[in-house]
Amino acid sequence: MENGYVYTLTFLSGAWSGDATTLKLSATNATLSANTVTLKDSEWSNYEITLTGNGSASKITFQGNGSSKSRFFLDDVRVVAKSTNATVTAAGWATFVPKYNVKADNVNAYVVTSADEAVAKLQKVTEIPAGTPVLLETEGNYTLDVIESATAVGDNCLKVSDGTISADDHVYVLGQKNGNTGFYLWTGTALDKGKVYMQTNSSNARQMLQLVKPGQEETGIETVESAGAERDGIYSLQGVRVAEARKGLYIVGGKKMMFNK
């Protein structure tokens, strides 16, 4: 059972006529909400217990109370995933990949629909198909309910590493520096398996791509000032110093400036 997931265990059982009515349950790599149930004598009954997964390989054991007469009937044993937990730290953003289809109606979840040299554009989703990497927003602990099926998310630049990704692939990972959260250029040697990452559509991408939610300016720039081309120290958005600025956005004195000529 997957770590952090909550499951529902249901089964039919009944005590053999005249035998003990206590049924014991135990599990490996899982925590049970109850370790015993009381059976009815010579009668089938439905039982339900909650399990919390602590690992991928789990085993559930049913046994009598240990006396010489503790026979029982058991049938229709089922384990169904119910929910999972997701945590967003104080950074305010986190990546998340569900093992099952889940509903994200109590947390802001996004996919990245496109990425260029400046920004990563986000699109909100309320259902996350199994194995789909997303971004979660706002610090806190969240419970996401498992659902039978989930609507496909469409375009998504987020990917999950298979353990063979290298820095030569122009990889970006979620990070925070100086209070700024975004996708930062990764310079490691091998990205861990299961790590969420992204690759841009442009070979001229910057060191950090800003997160742009629906409704925000596509540039992700909060303040734009006008400036004359006569100012010294003019740089492109890629950090390259230019002798003369043309129309567009540049960095002057550590600030983003809009040049009109």
The pLDDT value recorded for residue 238 is 57
CB 108 within 8 A of CB 128: no
The pLDDT value recorded for residue 201 is 65
CB 193 within 8 A of CB 163: yes
**C-alpha atoms less than 13 angstroms from C-alpha of 242 in its C-beta half-sphere:** 19
**Through-space distance between the first and last CA atoms of the chain, rounded to whole angstroms:** 62
Q: How confident is the model at residue 112 (pLDDT cuts 50, 70, 90)?
A: very high
- Cα 21 from chain centroid? 44
Q: What percent helix, strand, coil does the chain show, rounded to 5?
A: 0, 50, 50
| pLDDT tens-digit series, residues 202-236 | 666 678 888 999 887 544 444 434 444 334 567 66
The pLDDT value recorded for residue 17 is 94
Question: What's the whole-number mean pLDDT along residues 190-197?
Answer: 92
Q: What region does 126 belong to: left with phi over 0, alpha with psi -120 to 50, or beta?
A: alpha
| pLDDT tens-digit series, residues 58-75 | 899 999 987 678 999 999
Number of Cβ within 10 Å of residue 228's Cβ equals 11
- Cα 125 from chain centroid? 12
The pLDDT value recorded for residue 10 is 97
DSSP bridge pairs for 251: 235, 256
Which of 1, 6, 7, 47 lies closest to 23 in space, CA to CA?
47
Q: Could you tell me the two tokens for 123?
A: 């699109």
CB 25 within 8 A of CB 60: yes
Residues 6+ positions from 256 with CB-CB distance below 8 Å: 221, 223, 224, 225, 237, 249, 250
The CA distance from 171 to 191, in Å, is 9
pTM: 0.73
| DSSP conformational letter for 253 | T
| pLDDT tens-digit series, residues 133-152 | 999 999 999 999 999 999 99
